[in-house]
Amino acid sequence: MSNKSDFIVVGAGIVGLATAYKLQLKFPDKSIFILEKEPEIGLHQTGRNSGVMHSGIYYKPGSYKAKNCKIGSAQLIKFAKENNIKHDICGKVIVASSKEELPVLEDIYNRGIQNGTEGICYLTSDEIKEKEPFIEGIKGIWVPTAGIIDYVAVSKAFVNLITTINPESKLIKSCEVIEVITETDTSTLITTKGNFISDKVIFCTGLQSDRIAAKDQLKLDLHIVGFRGDYFELKPEAAYKINNLVYPVPNPKFPFLGVHFTRMIHGGIECGPNAVFTFKREGYKRTSFDFTDTFEALTFKGTWKLFGKHWRKGIDEYKRAFSKRLFVKALQKMMPTIKENDVQPARAGVRAQAIDFDGNMIDDFKIMKHNGNIHVLNAPSPAATSCLAIADEIVSVVLS
C-alpha cells in the first residue's frame, strides 16, 4: 500500500466518513485514506448517541445547526432508503409539564416555524395521551419528521461505498496520529502505522479535536470538555409504556435536550441521558478517570467559569448520575406512573463539548481551515443527523 493519497480524513466517526463519502462522489478518481485510531468504527459518539434523527425544531434560525439539520435529515433519509438501512420516521412529542415551561415550548414552536420544520402542531393534554397514553403534560408539540436510525450501519455503508467507487481508497484502523508535519503543499501524518502523506487533510476527531488541532499548530480559543450521558432502559415488561419519542421542554441555558424516552431502532426503550462533567474523555463508566484528561479540563479557565455559572445544575446532574431514584424522579415529570423497578442501567456516551475561555458552551458547528488542512472543531448534536450536510460544508471549504 502506498502511503500517499489525494486526501486523508482523520477520524472514522459519522462526520468523517460522510465527508470522505462526499469527497469520493465528487472526485471518484482521487484516493482517500481514512485513519481511525480505534480497532472498529463507531466506538465513541457515533455509536453511543440515542440514534435519533432530529427535525431541526430546536435550533437558532439561521445557524449552521438549523440549516444543516434540515438539509442533512432529508439527505440521510434518502441515503437510508437507497441503501436499505433500518430507520423509522416515527415522530416525536415535546412535552410541557408545568406552566413555567410554556414560554419555552412556544419559543421552540416558533423556531420550528422559522426553520421550516414540516408538520409541527401543538397538542393538548388529551392529544398527548392519544399518542403516548402514559405521558402527562399540559401542552405539547408534535414533530412528525423526527425519527430513529442505526448510525453505525450508516457509517459502514459510507465505507463500503467509498471503497466501491475507488478501490485505492482505504479505511485504516488502529491508526493513531502522533504528529502532524505541514509543508507548503503537503502534510505528513506520523502515525502508529507509519507515515502518511497527502495534499489535503481533514480532521474530524470529535473528542480529540482540540488536541489534534494543537498538533497542527492551530491556536484555539476553545477547549473540548467531555460530558458523559448515562442511559437507563425500560425493562421488557415496561416497554409498552412508550410508543416512540418523548422529550421534555429543555433548559434553554444548555445545549442538552433533557432526559427523554427513545424507542431504539433495534428494539427497546432508552431513558436518558443526563449530562455530567467526565474525568475521562472516552470513559463510559461513572468511575472512569484519566489524569491527562482531568488535568487539562480543570486547568482550563473556561471550565471553572462554566462551573461557576451553572454549579447548581451540575450538582443536580451528578446526584442523578449516582442515584437511580433521582433519575426516575426526573422521568416521572412526564410519566408519573414509572417506578424504579421499571428501568435498568444501560449504556453511556460522552459528548464532546467545545467551551470558550469565558466558560460559554459553543453551541454551533465550528469548522476552521489552517495550513491548508481542515479541522472540524465542534460538531455536537445534531451532527449525526446533519452528517451529509456538514460533509457538503467541509467539501466546499476544501475547494475554497
Per-residue pLDDT, 55? 95
* For range 369-381, the mean pLDDT: 91
Query: Residue 309 CB: number of other CB atoms within 10 A?
Result: 15
348 and 375 in a single domain? The answer is no
**More confident of the two residues 154 and 250:** 154
Per-residue pLDDT, 255? 62
pLDDT band at 267 (very low <50, low <70, confident <90, very high): very high
28 and 176 in a single domain? The answer is yes
Overall domain count for the chain: 3
Per-residue pLDDT, 259? 87
120 and 239 in a single domain? The answer is no
Which sign does the torsion angle of CA 363, 376, 321, 314 carry?
negative
At residue 89, the 3 state secondary structure works out as coil
C-alpha cell at position 187: 502534510
300 and 328 in a single domain? The answer is yes
C-alpha cell at position 95: 412535552
Report yes or no: 317 and 274 within 8 Å, Cβ to Cβ. yes
Helix (H), strand (E) at residue 114: helix 102-114
394 and 338 in a single domain? The answer is no
Per-residue pLDDT, 322? 83
44 and 139 in a single domain? The answer is no
Per-residue HEC secondary structure of 314-373 comes to HHHHHHHHCCHHHHHHHHHCCCCCCCHHHEEEEEEEEEEEEEECCCCECCCCEEEEECCE
Nearest Cα neighbor of 352 from 223, 204, 226, 211 is: 226
Which sign does the torsion angle of CA 156, 159, 162, 164 carry?
negative
pLDDT in tens, 210-237: 999 999 999 999 999 999 999 999 999 9
370: phi then psi, degrees, rounded to nearest 5 = -155, 130
- As a whole number of angstroms, the distance between CA 9 and CA 201 comes to 6
pLDDT band at 274 (very low <50, low <70, confident <90, very high): confident
Q: How distant is the alpha carbon of residue 164 from its chain centre?
A: 27
Is pLDDT of 83 > 70? yes
Q: What range defines the domain where residue 115 resides? A: 92-144
* For range 261-279, the mean pLDDT: 93
Nearest Cα neighbor of 359 from 305, 398, 315 is: 305
337 and 272 in a single domain? The answer is yes
Helix (H), strand (E) at residue 102: helix 102-114
346 and 266 in a single domain? The answer is yes
261 and 291 in a single domain? The answer is yes
328 and 249 in a single domain? The answer is yes
Report yes or no: 394 and 202 within 8 Å, Cβ to Cβ. yes
100 and 185 in a single domain? The answer is no
Extract the runs of DSSP E, i.e. beta strands, from the chain: 4-10, 32-35, 52-53, 87-88, 92-96, 121-124, 139-143, 147-149, 170-172, 177-182, 187-191, 194-203, 222-234, 245-248, 260-263, 269-272, 276-277, 343-356, 366-370, 373-378
What's the CATH number where 69 sits? Answer: 3.50.50.60
pTM of the model: 0.95
Is pLDDT of 134 > 80? yes
* For range 309-323, the mean pLDDT: 81
Is pLDDT of 320 > 90? no
C-alpha cell at position 67: 440549516
pLDDT band at 27 (very low <50, low <70, confident <90, very high): very high
Is pLDDT of 363 > 90? no
pLDDT in tens, 325-334: 999 999 999 9
Is pLDDT of 311 > 90? no
Strands 4-10 and 139-143: unpaired
pLDDT band at 2 (very low <50, low <70, confident <90, very high): low
Per-residue pLDDT, 210? 96
Per-residue pLDDT, 252? 74
pLDDT in tens, 385-394: 999 999 999 9
pLDDT in tens, 92-115: 999 999 999 999 999 999 999 999
255 and 349 in a single domain? The answer is yes
